[in-house]
């Protein structure tokens, strides 16, 4: 839609969706699976950020933690407590996976807030891979741990007998919609927030409303910092909820 | 001409789909408001229930995101 605005010429010219275009870093060749693109760069930077926080930051193991060490300890304790509270004591063995997901998403989100950077988590391709990985592993885990009785997740024994087939249908649908909502929630929130910032940035070109639009960008940017963290938290907490369903399918 | 009408319908549909996001906003507000009114009555129990609140927000928000998805599909895919 943005390209149509541009082609008409004159007036406000803005491309709020241009920041999400995947481009090769070197040259303008076509994009193959091995091409190094801006997505590759910013994902690698997210991994570097995680290594800096969790490996280098805590390497000294000081009794009085430095700033980076306290961030690492805070994140570790926060996610560990969440896994224990939401998924149960016996799910603590799956804590590394959830910690990995959370740290990757939160670092990618925060790096995407740097001006001129690229938000990798705004692409459904990225989040769908993570959500499908969670969905498949949780489903497999449910069948491995409980055998066929995992299917009792869909058969709600506390409901009246006449209602149970209908409820089972609804439960099955909502189970298979999980990876869709799980991935689109993150990608949609990231994409919408960044696009809104760009839309307000376009209004800054008009001198009369420029101060107002700069104020609005500042406010939305602050909101985006909050949303970046909360969406990573929600992704991790929903993974815990799904994990709890897989470990204890009986209602 | 025919393609124009189809595109017009897609755009109107995208706009209508966005009303679903308003419903999600009402739902999220309802969840947080009820959490707060409960938390202010018994603040000592509130800390343990924030995770539950976020799960509720996430489920309420999911349906708004489906309408956002429908709008995106109508704008860019249909």
| Structure-model confidence comparison of residues A115 and B76, the more confident one | A115
| Structure-model confidence comparison of residues B11 and A29, the more confident one | B11
Mean pLDDT across chain A: 87
Tens of pLDDT, residue by residue over A52-92, are 988 888 888 888 888 888 988 999 999 999 999 888 888 89
A1, A85, A237: residue with CB nearest B75: A1
Where do the domains of chain B lie? 2-77
Give the pair of three-digit tokens for residue A242: 């799904």
Which pLDDT value is given to residue A6? 42
Residue B54 forms contact with A (CB below 8 Å): yes
* Residues of chain B neighbouring A237 (CB-CB closer than 8 A): 51, 54-55, 58
> How close does chain B come to A201, measured CA to CA in Å?
22
- Choose from A43-47, A194-198, A207-211 the range with maximum mean pLDDT: A43-47
Binned at pLDDT 50, 70 and 90, residue A3 comes out as: very low
Residue B8 forms contact with A (CB below 8 Å): no
Q: What is the pTM of this model?
A: 0.85
Tens of pLDDT, residue by residue over A102-132, are 999 999 999 999 988 899 999 989 999 999 9
Residue A143 predicted with pLDDT over 60: yes
* Residues of chain A neighbouring B61 (CB-CB closer than 8 A): 185
B52 in Cβ contact with B31 (< 8 Å):
no
CA-CA distance, B20 to B18, in Å (whole number)? 5
How many other CB atoms sit within 10 Å of the CB of residue A55?
A: 10
Residue A85 forms contact with B (CB below 8 Å): yes
The residues near A193 (Cβ < 8 Å, ≥ 6 apart) are: A220, A223, A224, A227
Q: Is the dihedral of CA B64, B68, B69, B74 positive or negative?
A: positive
A184, A233, A241: residue with CB nearest B69: A184
Which pLDDT value is given to residue A79? 94
CATH superfamily, domain at B2-77: F1F0 ATP synthase subunit C (1.20.20.10)
Residue A12 predicted with pLDDT over 60: no
- Left (φ > 0), alpha (ψ -120 to 50) or beta: where does A101 sit? alpha
* Residues of chain A neighbouring B75 (CB-CB closer than 8 A): 1
Residue A169's domain spans which residues? Answer: 2-247
Binned at pLDDT 50, 70 and 90, residue A18 comes out as: confident
Which pLDDT value is given to residue A251? 60
Is A188 close to B75, i.e. CB distance below 8 A? no
Which pLDDT value is given to residue A228? 92
ipTM tops the 0.90 cut: no
Residue B39 forms contact with A (CB below 8 Å): no
Average pLDDT over residues B56-78: 83
Number of domains chain A is built from = 1
A1, A85, A185: residue with CB nearest B62: A185
């Amino acid at each position: 839609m943005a390209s149509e605005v541009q082609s008409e010429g004159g007036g406000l010219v803005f491309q709020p969706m241009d920041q999400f275009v995947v481009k090769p870093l070197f040259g303008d060749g076509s994009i193959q699976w091995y091409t190094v693109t801006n997505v590759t760069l910013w994902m690698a930077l997210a991994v570097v950020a995680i290594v800096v926080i969790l490996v280098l930051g805590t390497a000294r193991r000081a009794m009085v933690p430095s700033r980076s060490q306290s961030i690492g300890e805070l994140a570790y304790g926060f996610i560990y407590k969440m896994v224990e509270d939401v998924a149960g004591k016996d799910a603590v063995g799956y804590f590394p996976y959830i910690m990995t997901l959370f740290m990757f998403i939160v670092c990618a989100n925060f790096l995407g807030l740097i001006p001129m950077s690229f938000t990798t988590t705004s692409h459904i391709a990225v989040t769908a891979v993570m959500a499908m990985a969670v969905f498949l592993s949780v489903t497999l885990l449910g069948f491995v741990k409980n055998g066929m009785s995992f299917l009792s997740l869909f058969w709600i024994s506390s409901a009246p007998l006449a209602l149970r087939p209908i409820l089972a249908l609804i439960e099955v649908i909502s189970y298979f919609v999980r990876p869709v909502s799980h991935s689109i929630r993150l990608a949609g929130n990231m994409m919408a927030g960044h696009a809104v910032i760009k839309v307000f940035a376009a209004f800054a070109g008009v001198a009369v409303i420029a101060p107002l639009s700069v104020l609005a960008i500042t406010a939305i940017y602050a909101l985006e910092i909050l949303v970046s963290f909360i969406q990573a938290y929600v992704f991790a907490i929903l993974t815990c909820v799904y994990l709890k369903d897989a470990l204890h399918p009986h209602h | 001409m025919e393609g124009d009408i189809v595109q017009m319908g897609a755009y109107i549909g995208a706009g209508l789909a966005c009303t679903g996001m308003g419903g999600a906003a009402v739902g999220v507000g309802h969840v947080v408001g009820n959490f707060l009114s409960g938390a202010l009555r018994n603040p000592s129990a509130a800390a343990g229930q924030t995770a539950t609140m976020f799960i509720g927000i996430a489920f309420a928000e999911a349906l708004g995101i489906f309408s956002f998805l429908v709008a995106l599909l109508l704008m860019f895919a249909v």
